[in-house]
Amino acid sequence: MLAVRVVNMQGQATGEVQVDPALLGGHVRAKLMKQAIVAYLDHQRQHSARTKGRSDVAGSTRKLYRQKGTGNARAGMIRTPVRRGGGRTFGKRGPRAFKAMPQKMRRLACHSAILAKIQSDDVMIVGDFALPQIKTKTVAALFSAVGADRGCVLAIEERNDVVHRSSRNIPKTEVRVVDELNAYEVLRRKKLIFTKPAFERLVNAAKATGNGSSDE
């Protein structure tokens, strides 16, 4: 069993929660996490770059001059890539398929990233997290107290405009609904902070899906 620290809004430790590693896949799968990160970053690109080849640029296809007898180097059509204004050699041809990754693999990669964070003691739960009004100072003070002021991901149970607006001006801080977490965002920041309802939702979802502890 692994222990996850529970703190209050002042950053003081109030206890810990025991987590069975089997719920998060049993062990850290580094190769799977890399695959998930590469796929995620690939999906952030448009893949719409397109350059013109020799068949796309304007110009005649006739040979510029005869092969021999002119004293010049031999030459073909004016659209050749070696001439100014010609087509590009091996140019990008635009839109290509994204790197697809099954949902179960994405989920297991995310759980593996969370497990790695727990093992390195970079995960904590805020037991009494509450923001009655928009107050960046309150959230910033919490992050500073728990050592997360240099970058963290705050996982909440459901969308909350007050939490988002209170955190959006804090550098290197992301607020994510726990169901929308992915391996890239979990590993991108140093600390991972859950609200208590969000962590319970994560554990319940892991129990429902049953990752198991099989090898990659």
3-state SS, residue 106: helix
Is residue 158, in this structure, part of any structural domain at all? yes
Average pLDDT over residues 160-176: 93
* Mean pLDDT, residues 19-37 taken together: 92
Nearest to 153 by CA among 161, 163, 135: 163
- Structural domain including 168 reads 2-45+98-209
Q: Do 31 and 57 fall within a single domain?
A: no
Gap between the Cα atoms of 122 and 153, Å rounded:
11
Q: What is the pLDDT of residues 82-106, one digit of tens each?
A: 999 999 999 888 777 777 889 999 9
- CATH number of the domain that residue 183 is part of: 3.40.1370.10
16 shares a domain with 117: yes
Residue 113 has pLDDT above 90, yes or no: yes
**Mean of the pLDDT values across residues 104-126?**
94
Report pLDDT for 216: 43
- Domain final position from 94, 118, 153: 94
Q: Which of 27, 60, 94 is the last residue of a domain?
A: 94
Residues 14 and 41 in one domain: yes
Q: Are residues 70 and 115 in the same domain?
A: no
Q: Is residue 214 part of a domain?
A: no
For residue 126, what are the β-bridge partners? 7, 195
Burial tier of 158 (Cβ tally within 10 Å: 0-12, 13-18, 19+): exposed
88/113 same-domain check: no
Task: Output 174 or 209, whichever has higher pLDDT.
Answer: 174
Looking at the fold, whether 6 and 74 belong to one and the same domain comes out as: no
Within this chain, do residues 123 and 135 fall inside the same structural domain, yes or no? yes
The model's pTM is 0.79
19 lies in the same domain as 86: no
Residue 159 counted as domain residue: yes
Strand runs labelled E in 8-83: 13-19
Residues 122 and 205 in one domain: yes
36 with 60, same domain: the answer is no
Domain stops at, among 32, 65, 94: 94
Q: Say yes or no: 88 and 105 in one domain.
A: no
Per-residue model confidence (pLDDT) at position 214: 45
Q: What is the pLDDT of residues 52-81, one digit of tens each?
A: 999 999 999 999 999 999 999 999 999 999
205 close to 107: Cβ distance less than 8 angstroms: no
| Residue 215, pLDDT score | 46
Band (pLDDT 50/70/90 cuts) for residue 201 is: very high
Residue 50 has a pLDDT of 87
Cα–Cα distance measured from residue 79 to residue 211, given in angstroms and rounded to the nearest whole number: 57
User: So what's the pLDDT on residue 211?
Assistant: 58
pLDDT at 107: 93
Are 115 and 184 in a shared domain?
A: yes
Question: CA-CA distances (angstroms) from residue 21 to 2, 11, 162?
Answer: 7, 25, 33
Looking at the 3D structure of the chain, how many domains does it have? 2
Domain-embedded: residue 138: yes
Q: Which residue has the tokens 């996850």?
A: 4
Region 163-175: what's the mean pLDDT? 92
